[in-house]
Amino acid sequence: EAQVTQNPRYLITVTGKKLTVTCSQNMNHEYMSWYRQDPGLGLRQIYYSMNVEVTDKGDVPEGYKVSRKEKRNFPLILESPSPNQTSLYFCASGNRFRDISSGANVLTFGAGSRLTVL
């Protein structure tokens, strides 16, 4: 089954304790990205990656790191989590919509990871 798998699904941690949220896709997609969802704000893009070793900042990258050493994996790293990073996090991978020239990446999302930082 084609899917994006995130772990952990739920995590409660304390301020300053480094954590990693893993993301893996089995669709051979080149594009992957991370989002956080907060009430009233929709989803905001944290980081994205167009391919192995190619990453770039989204709109809210502060406090986060990512790496793309393999095509299928795109972990999100919180080096020193703070309470304002309490949120629902989504990983997504993307493939071109029908016509490869359209430039559109249609996103397949993981199930989400709910993170609470105390």
Partner 1 sequence: AQKITQTQPGMFVQEKEAVTLDCTYDTSDQSYGLFWYKQPSSGEMIFLIYQGSYDEQNATEGRYSLNFQKARKSANLVISASQLGDSAMYFCAMSDNYGQNFVFGPGTRLSVLP
Q: Looking at this protein, which amino acid is placed at residue 53?
A: E
Stretch that binds partner 1, among 12-20, 34-42, 62-70, 75-83 (CB under 8 A): 34-42
Among 33, 85, 87, 93, binds partner 1 (CB under 8 A): 33
What does the per-residue mask of binding to partner 1 show for 3-32, with x meaning CB under 8 A?
----------------------------x-
Q: Map the chain to HEC letters.
A: CCCEEEECCEEEECCCCCEEEEEEECCCCCEEEEEEEECCCEEEEEEEEEECCEEEECCCCCCCEECCCCCCECCEEECCCCHHHCEEEEEEEEEECCCHHHCCEEEEECCCEEEEEC
Q: Looking at this protein, which amino acid is placed at residue 89?
A: Y
- How many residues at the interface with partner 1, by CB under 8 A? 30
108 scored as a contact of partner 1 (CB under 8 A): yes
1 scored as a contact of partner 1 (CB under 8 A): no
Which residue's CB is nearer to partner 1, number 14 or number 41?
41
Which residue's CB is nearer to partner 1, number 80 or number 113?
113
| Separation CA 44–CA 96 (nearest Å) | 21
Site for partner 1 in 59-78 (CB under 8 A): 59
Q: How far is the CB of 55 from partner 1 (least distance, A)?
A: 11
